[in-house]
Amino acid sequence: MCQFCHEHGEGKKWYLQAKNYSDDLLSDARRRKFIAEFASSGVESLSKEFGGLKKLAKLPGLIRGVLARLVTWKMKKVHFGQVVPIEEIEQIFGFVNSIVRVACICRRVSLGKEKRYCYGISLEPDGGEFGRIFSSVDHSYADGPHSPGLERLTREQALEAFRQHEKEGLCHTVWTFHTPFIAGICNCDRSDCLAMRSTVTNAVPVMFRAEWLARVDPEKCTGCRQCMRLCQFGALTFSAGSSKVAVDERRCYGCGICRSACAPGAIRLEDRRSDAVASGLW
């Protein structure tokens, strides 16, 4: 299991522990300040971070490695994510009491467009203290043409939206706001999300892989390669000899998105701990 499961989940999945979503954690003034700053200056600070990643990539290997470890260490304290498959998103939606959708700050910066791929979640029915802090600051970046501000969704509406995100190949990730408090779920891709770019492309991890790993049943696989189209991590390989697809366990993040493209149902998720190689890769 990942580091946070041991530190914040008592050996169970930390993101399935309701206590990590609790408003009690918001009595910490530093956390409240962090959320307020994140909501009010997200676009500006993310623009700088996108620029910072480009500069980091040009540095000599040794310096880059030291800086990358420092960034990861800091992010684990304040704003760190983990990939979570849709079954567990459904479990999270089962115990939270409010779900709001907002425009993604990353897409605002990387595409200059509003894309409503981010969700705020709370145990409180009205969005909780997180919603109040978030609403009280200038979140004009979240104002859309049809639904300004925080857009409230039912569990069913949110789940349906996540199924659509899967068809677009977007990978679900939970996020802390001063760890271990979880208040957001994003839908990421490699080209437009700072977190995935940082973690996968630039080797500066700001999120863990899922607790899962994909497996392909060769008996069911027809070799259609539709799954490869959706994998953001290049973890699926096609064998011309066997006309089958296989999973590279070193690359698989366990998001499960590939399953949504597989008509014969040849792909399943297994516990990451069941694989000697993948169990050590986070």
Q: Measured between alpha carbons, how far is 119 from 130 in angstroms, rounded to an integer?
A: 12
Site for ligand SF4 contains 262 (CB under 6 A): yes
Which 8-state DSSP code applies to residue 198? Answer: I
Task: Tell me how far CA of residue 17 lies from CA of 174, 180, 221, in angstroms.
Answer: 13, 10, 36
DSSP sequence for 66-108: HHHHHHHHHHHHHS-EEE--HHHHHHHHHH-SEEEEE--HHHH
**Phi, psi (deg, nearest 5) at residue 140:** -60, -25
Site for ligand SF4 contains 89 (CB under 6 A): no
Among 122, 247, 272, 278, binds ligand SF4 (CB under 6 A): 247
Residue 3 beta carbon to ligand SF4: minimum distance, rounded to whole angstroms:
20
**Phi, psi (deg, nearest 5) at residue 172:** -80, 135
Site for ligand SF4 contains 224 (CB under 6 A): yes
Rank residues 39 and 255 by Cβ distance to ligand SF4 and give the closer one.
Answer: 255
Rank residues 39 and 230 by Cβ distance to ligand SF4 and give the closer one.
Answer: 230
Rank residues 19 and 220 by Cβ distance to ligand SF4 and give the closer one.
Answer: 220
Residue 36 beta carbon to ligand SF4: minimum distance, rounded to whole angstroms:
34
Residue 230 beta carbon to ligand SF4: minimum distance, rounded to whole angstroms:
6
Residue 143 beta carbon to ligand SF4: minimum distance, rounded to whole angstroms:
32
Dihedral (Cα; 82, 10, 77, 15), 10-degree rounding: 30
Q: How far is CA 232 from the centre of its chain?
A: 12
Residue 166 beta carbon to ligand SF4: minimum distance, rounded to whole angstroms:
10
Token readout for 205 is 């991890």
Tell me which stretch binds ligand SF4 (CB under 6 A): 22-30, 35-43, 69-77, 248-256. Answer: 248-256
> 165 in helix, strand or coil?
helix
* Residue type (1 letter), 153: L
Rank residues 107 and 172 by Cβ distance to ligand SF4 and give the closer one.
Answer: 172
Site for ligand SF4 contains 200 (CB under 6 A): no
Candidates 100, 123, 111, 103; CA nearest to 17 is 123
Site for ligand SF4 contains 128 (CB under 6 A): no
Binding to ligand SF4 (CB under 6 A) within 25-64 occurs at none
Give residues in contact with ligand SF4 (CB under 6 A).
214, 216, 221-227, 230-231, 233, 235-236, 245, 247, 252-258, 261-262, 264, 266-267
